[in-house]
Structure 1
């Protein structure tokens, strides 16, 4: 079948977008998927024009009436091609046959709206007047066009015109980028477009098929293009003809249409009934299929090798431009990119086999693990994260290399714990690739072996151990080895570990509990002692205790020692959030894993009686408080100080310079520790809030303060600086402080201020030694 270009088509026919067609849509601004299609399609066009490698744009369907071609399908592609022709013709400085160009371009028209037809006509007639090269970097080609004298205000309400201007901006932006890093010229691309016939398509006249008027109306009134999945599926069937034998290929695509579709339908129903607000509830069937294929491609070993060897920048979770991000967030991938991802014939065979096994596993799985939750996480494109893709990879690599039903639970739990506690918190694309690569190698290493036997045999010098440390902390790997060794000697450990590994706050990391159960020589681990500590810890580390309004647990642990953990420039009491890897690791996990803090926690757990946990914690505070003679005493005796810290964080410069943070930074509202304790104590002994007010600040250049307003008396302002309370009095026009001698002393001795001054002295006495930095 002969191929056509838009240019030679316009030389033969008047190309008409009939009135029944919809508006031009590739320039819609508020549709993320359309934006991806637009950018990807235009990039693909430019890539082929620059390389002179022909690009076939599939079939264009139309009805031929003598010298007119009325488009039935292909409107979007041909309109974008038309705009590309207009742009290159008017961008070049070479002497072209402008009259002939205008004549040919005028063969393209819209009948959907009168205003659209007028705009196209005017754009063609005045295109040579627009100085495209003069468009400033901070401006747009569309703005220049809109400022032309011939541009009509009515066009600002025409969706087709708005769309065309957006596409012209994208064409200009991408061409300008080409010019900036190469010596390419507009005339070279114009020749590739009109003479070399680089961009072509098949023209299928529907007249030959005796198309009825009724069917014609249905085709056009539908106004819906084939979905990305429908296009991808059709392309893939053709592309795999050379690498996959006919029977295998036929079976694969039959499964897509039948049993695998049934599974996704069931999953869709499961999602719609889920009460989890973090899971998607209105899934699009084709998008589900497309996401699964893209996630599988991202895991494919050939692809992993490609990404791993490429230079990856620090691409964050919300990125939507890189290929990795577009794969995991179900955005547009061009056919050229798919060809690279699928690799050679052997790679194509492997990826098809892996996807086949993967779907067969999904439809037949009847175990207890929540694999539906993992799938729903990758379908949630708004919040799809690196971590969600890594968890998906656990399922993919199992089916690719292990595929042993008796081993799935162990594989799933070991790798999920590693993924949930990965290095670097999945901050960037390269972190995801490292995790996928490590899991891939581990699955290959295990193959047909017993998973726990393989894990317990790992040594620091082995290649697979070294590979795992590129993605996971050494201590977490060693933790899995230790548990596998214990299970090897006593299978009862497995169910016991599993019970506490699923705890929300432990999140798979229970090494501190194993450590508590070891004998003095660290040779033996007592199951009874482990169970004892695990039971108490699993009760304490719950919302009941961690969200207690009196902060009994935090204060009791503080009474034993300084357990606060470093978090950037701040110190944290331990927050009640654990949704991301970062939140889990920079939280109570640091208490569990730090040697000294572990001892503090163990000391506390040893003093808790099961069944009377709150009373035990209160007793710990009352028994220890008299021995606490440093800054901790303020938090222990005044729980409102912790309540003030909405993110459970403080800024600690030294013993005498401690700030309570309402957020995470000093440019947010914050209070000073001792003055805030004074404020809370004054309220507690009966001062009215109208008389005692706390003055927060949101800058490091000022100090927070407490002010006391008593009737007919100057306002007392209290600050804490250099290890002591500083009092001054705010008069109407002046401030009276220590430098005012007797006048200041007389005010300070007023009996109305006595309770404030006495409390200041008491608070100072709480700390025996104050070191001034």
Structure 2
């Protein structure tokens, strides 16, 4: 029997003649008891995707006035009843769509009476719900029609336990969201017959429960990947038969071979293929200034590769090349030859990996891609990784025209730019401009041509300028290349060496020796012995700390803000002076630093300015963000606040000398957490408070007059005595400190 096309409306009332017998009319469509519940309205990642795709297809058919065929529907026709074997999900959704159009547009009842002929036999409640939907009226003013329906008097509470009804309610809301702005929907459905399907009645044989079970167990349903592959190949076939044949062969054979080693525990490569496909497709979106549609692979395929896109052929060629470039090579070995993660390896570039990341960027991409983590913010395959991996893909695509030596030098430049452009690397800038396009263009110029573009707003401009300087400097100083690369790869620097500078190449290895072998608090003291190496971030001042490498890394990475007043350059000058004095023997460096600090403190000519106290009292090196605040550094240099939060005075903060005293004499003093808000140093078990100012100390005791004493200072406002010792001495004299 030759199948014919039908719509949901004209299937009801149609006549069929089976095996030459008298024609049978379909008066009712029944979802039999053995069928599962309606599933297209279920809530879940896979179900949401299926529902969205199906409604998208229906919407595009209506909106574009283009016919769509929903494949085959099978069932048994007997005594006027069509008992469905296959097509339940599609016909139920069409029933709801027709119902929505009829009710929303207030169509005459006789025009949609045929909807009463659709019924569920799975549960009485499902059958009654379908009947009530058609017969009863609801208000279409609400955004959530499901809530409106549930609030009707005819909707009993126990229907909440029927999964088919609940699934239908979800679908009704989805239909409303998708079709609410479509006018004359009923006309498109019932008169223009845009949405149809093939119906094939089975021979009269009696559909027992056993037959349903057998027919529904003939094979596994198509996976999402198989659905995608079919649609994707149809998109290609519509514009190029040769490309269609080539992609078909490559997806099934060549590209499967590439991905097979990464199939994982589930022994399938579908997810790996889709993640790499999305990676390349998103790259093309950025390049073509297209915003990916909700990261949906079906929409992405149409958006980039359908003939409606003027660049579809070149996009397909790029995609094909991005897969082909990995064919026939040992991918693990390739990445191991380019990158390392531990001790310096000549000819390779260091990667600073986060938990779960590997040097094999292809593996990471196929496992994580750019999907978001559970918190909805952090990417599992970061923008940094996307840019670096894109650089590698470009090289693989153009391996015949880029020498291995040039690639190794260029990928190092890309790594340096990525690591030092934390504020520049984002999808879109604050004005909504396509920032990733700029960044990818920068990467392309570097990898393909060896050019570092400084005219646009891609990677950090200061780092670009540094990379240009390195290239020029190495042309006449190639003997220092490995020392330079070792310094670049050092964890505190991650590619930027401005803190040492190309003019101080003799200090490259000394920098590494210093920070590899010495206590960082001691390094900070030694630097302060030479000068004020601190940097300002607006109103805050930062110094290095004992255990947080991130603080030192901040100090060693130049920004416009950090170099206001040449503070970054000042740090570099002081650091290089220290490096120049270091002994060559690594074992002697720590001793040298301790001696330098001791000589500074024991020198009678050493002024007791604020640096003196930071060098003498370890407690001043607060081990969080290294941030301090001076209200008036020149006029009142000793009124210093230690900042705990690092960014705001609204968090914990302490007067630095009060804090030192509370740490030196913990059994005597206690200190509140908010010096900026008035907390004072307090003597325990007494209502006695101590306030330390720039040139004096005020002591207040309950029910007694306050008294104060001055800190002796010279005409320049510099302490003549150690104020910590002076305060301790005065308090002992008053019997307040034992």
The TM-score normalised by the length of structure 1 is 0.71
Tell me whether 1:231 sits opposite 2:266 in the alignment: no
Tell me whether 1:122 sits opposite 2:148 in the alignment: no
1:262 Cα deviation (Å)?
Answer: 3.4
> What residue is the counterpart of 1:372 in the other structure?
360
Tell me whether 1:254 sits opposite 2:249 in the alignment: yes
> What residue is the counterpart of 2:670 in the other structure?
693
> What residue is the counterpart of 1:461 in the other structure?
none
Quick check: 1:696–1:705 contact (8 Å CA) kept in 2? Answer: no
Q: Distance in 2 between matches of 1:204 and 1:574?
A: 78
Q: Distance in 1 between matches of 2:298 and 2:697?
A: 60
Matching residue within 293, 298, 323 for 2:292: 323
What's the secondary structure of 2:587's corresponding residue? coil
Q: 1:355 to 1:679 in 2, by over 3 A?
A: same
Quick check: 1:670–1:704 contact (8 Å CA) kept in 2? Answer: no
Quick check: 1:651–1:661 contact (8 Å CA) kept in 2? Answer: no
Q: Distance in 1 between matches of 2:544 and 2:619?
A: 16
1:471 Cα deviation (Å)?
Answer: 0.4
Tell me whether 1:98 sits opposite 2:85 in the alignment: no
1:759 Cα deviation (Å)?
Answer: 4.5
1:588 Cα deviation (Å)?
Answer: 3.5
> What residue is the counterpart of 2:191 in the other structure?
195
Structure 2: runs of 5+ lacking an equivalent: 15-25, 340-358, 374-378, 634-638, 710-721, 731-738
Tell me whether 1:705 sits opposite 2:655 in the alignment: no
Quick check: 1:15–1:69 contact (8 Å CA) kept in 2? Answer: yes
> What residue is the counterpart of 2:342 in the other structure?
none
Instruction: Please list the CA deviations of residues 134-193 of structure 1 after superposition, one character each: whole Å capped at 9, or x if unmatched.
Output: x2x7xx4333332222333333344443333333334434556x4xxxxx54xx233223
Q: RCO greater where, 1 or 2, for CA within 8 Å and sep 6 or more?
A: 1
Taking the TM superposition and a 5 Å limit, the aligned residue runs for 1:438-587 are 438-440=439-441, 443=444, 447=448, 454-455=450-451, 464-466=453-455, 469-489=456-476, 493-517=480-504, 529=506, 533-541=507-515, 551-566=521-536, 570-573=540-543, 586=554
1:326 Cα deviation (Å)?
Answer: 1.8
> What residue is the counterpart of 1:590 in the other structure?
558
Tell me whether 1:172 sits opposite 2:176 in the alignment: yes
Q: Distance in 1 between matches of 2:597 and 2:67?
A: 76
1:587 Cα deviation (Å)?
Answer: 5.5
Q: Distance in 1 between matches of 2:478 and 2:208?
A: 72
> What residue is the counterpart of 1:241 in the other structure?
237
Q: Distance in 1 between matches of 2:201 and 2:513?
A: 73
Q: Distance in 2 between matches of 1:446 and 1:207?
A: 65
Q: 1:659 to 1:434 in 2, by over 3 A?
A: same
**Larger Rg computed on CA atoms:** 2
> What residue is the counterpart of 1:770 in the other structure?
none
> What residue is the counterpart of 2:288 in the other structure?
306
Q: 1:267 to 1:10 in 2, by over 3 A?
A: same
Q: Distance in 2 between matches of 1:719 and 1:331?
A: 68
Quick check: 1:357–1:399 contact (8 Å CA) kept in 2? Answer: no
Instruction: Please list the CA deviations of residues 181-219 of structure 1 after superposition, one character each: whole Å capped at 9, or x if unmatched.
Output: xxx54xx23322333334445556677999999896367
Tell me whether 1:660 sits opposite 2:647 in the alignment: no
Larger CA deviation: 607-616 vs 335-344: 335-344
> What residue is the counterpart of 1:603 in the other structure?
577
What's the secondary structure of 1:376's corresponding residue? helix
What's the secondary structure of 2:326's corresponding residue? helix
What's the secondary structure of 1:150's corresponding residue? coil
Give aligned pairs, total: 652
Q: Distance in 1 between matches of 2:211 and 2:541?
A: 70
1:414 Cα deviation (Å)?
Answer: 2.6
Structure 1: runs of 5+ lacking an equivalent: 179-183, 273-281, 311-321, 459-463, 518-525, 731-735, 737-742, 749-756, 766-773
Q: 1:131 to 1:242 in 2, by over 3 A?
A: closer
> What residue is the counterpart of 1:716 in the other structure?
688
> What residue is the counterpart of 2:17 in the other structure?
none
1:236 Cα deviation (Å)?
Answer: 1.8
Matching residue within 259, 272, 281 for 1:297: 281
More helix by share: 1
Q: 1:435 to 1:744 in 2, by over 3 A?
A: same
